[in-house]
Amino acid sequence: MYNMLTGVDLAKKEIQVCVAKSNKIVRNMPMTPTAFSNWLATQKPMTVVFEACATSNYWYQCAREYGHDARLISAKLVSNIRQNQKTDKNDAEAVLQASQLSNVNFISGKSKEQQELQSLVRMHQLSVKHKVAYGNQLCSLLLEFNIKLSPTDAGLNSAIQSILEDAENGFSAIFREALHTAWHQYLKSIELVKHYEKSVARASRASEDCKNLMKIEGVGPTNAVNLYIALGCCELGVFKKARDAAACIGLTPIQHSSGGKVRLGSIGKNIRNSSLRANLVAGAMSAVNQAVKRDSRTKKDEWIKGLVERRGKRCAAVALANKTVRTAFSLLRNGTDYKAELLSA
């Protein structure tokens, strides 16, 4: 860190800036976003710490462009550090104090490319939720009339068509019209999911890092993009080693150690990004199933088969997902291409 340290509490219309020099606060003042941008441009290089929230990645990028050492810090940690009532001044001062803790873990900032990729993933996730919600509503409403539907896209589509074409099922014209509208909403949601899937796939192919990650077993376009975002691409200062990255994603056992005795349990439930872990484990399970069915081609195939024999497929899938994260971390940090280690002939 630089000798001059600045804690920033971000908001839409007013930004609170707390500046300290040699561990002594010299100013704590509000600024407009425009004034804050101009102020950053005129200051000598310093350490600027932002509370991780909306617009924090934008200001993180802006501060780095002006030559400052920009960092993001957890809002929960800042809340625990704040000593007095919640005001803008106290929040900015708490950001400053939290950043000076000896064991503080900063949050990795995202580049503009990573933000765009993350936005694509979020839009895809929301479209999937809407599709599932529309399908569940159609199934549950028609179940009230003792009409049992298959929850699959094809089954639901054919069943709704049959219901609308059946003139003798006793449904009124008003209900038929409403059902037809709901059905078309469901069909549009399916098209939207496919559209975002194609967008994510195109984005992953356009990124050299994502294309390299897709060479790993069990990693497709979505997992490649998610790993690229989560691991910070070229800015891997947050994780000192690959094991830390796997632990942050939630792919390591929980410890219940006491009195010098180490006890390891199952993987934790309280994690920040549950969808990332779920997708990684699902991709790993697919790779495990393929490895078990075919003859071993690589040393990793041999490792997977041995693990399945000892612990079963589920444990093997979690272990492979853990290895996938550590491999991805190494590839992104070192800038190397992934090559599976083949078995010797």
Range of the domain at 278: 240-255+272-334
Of the CA atoms within 13 Å of residue 300, those in its CB half-sphere come to 20
Give the residue-averaged pLDDT of 163-173: 86
Same structural domain, 88 and 169: no
Same structural domain, 11 and 47: yes
Whether the predicted pLDDT of 265 surpasses 80: no
Question: Cα-flanking dihedrals φ and ψ of residue 106, to 5°?
Answer: -80, 160
Determine what percent of the chain is predicted with pLDDT higher than 90.
64
Q: Going by C-beta distance under 8 Å and a sequence separation of 6 or more, which residues neighbour residue 178?
A: none
Given 72, 99, 126, the domain boundary residue is: 99
What are 176-195's pLDDT values in tens digits?
Answer: 999 999 999 999 999 999 99
On whether residue 213 sits in a domain, the answer given is no
On whether residue 37 sits in a domain, the answer given is yes
On whether residue 14 sits in a domain, the answer given is yes
Give me the number of domains the chain comprises: 3
Distance, in Å, from the CA atom of 254 to the CA atom of 268, rounded to the nearest integer, reads: 6
Same structural domain, 93 and 140: no
Same structural domain, 59 and 140: no
Whether the predicted pLDDT of 345 surpasses 80: no
Q: pLDDT confidence of 234, banded at 50, 70, 90? A: very low
On whether residue 18 sits in a domain, the answer given is yes
Given 99, 121, 148, the domain boundary residue is: 99
Same structural domain, 128 and 72: no
Q: Would you state the structure tokens that stand for residue 91, as one six-digit string?
A: 């929040």
Whether the predicted pLDDT of 237 surpasses 60: no
Same structural domain, 200 and 245: no
On whether residue 212 sits in a domain, the answer given is no
Same structural domain, 117 and 91: no
Q: Would you state the structure tokens that stand for residue 167, as one six-digit string?
A: 């003139």
On whether residue 341 sits in a domain, the answer given is no
Same structural domain, 121 and 200: yes
Element (H, E) at 219: none
Whether the predicted pLDDT of 86 surpasses 60: yes
CATH number assigned to the domain comprising residue 73: 3.30.420.40
Cα–Cα distances in Å, from 76 out to 73, 91, 103, 126? 9, 11, 15, 26
Same structural domain, 278 and 314: yes
Given 78, 99, 120, the domain boundary residue is: 99
The per-residue pLDDT of the chain, averaged, comes to: 90
Query: At which residue do the structure tokens 């399908």 appear?
Result: 135
Question: Cα-flanking dihedrals φ and ψ of residue 131, to 5°?
Answer: -60, -45
Give the residue-averaged pLDDT of 196-224: 94
Query: At which residue do the structure tokens 């796997």 appear?
Result: 246
On whether residue 226 sits in a domain, the answer given is no
Whether the predicted pLDDT of 159 surpasses 60: yes
Same structural domain, 44 and 122: no
Q: pLDDT confidence of 280, banded at 50, 70, 90? A: very high
Same structural domain, 79 and 163: no
pLDDT at 232: 65
On whether residue 247 sits in a domain, the answer given is yes
Q: What is the DSSP letter of 109?
A: P
Whether the predicted pLDDT of 148 surpasses 80: yes
Element (H, E) at 177: helix 173-206
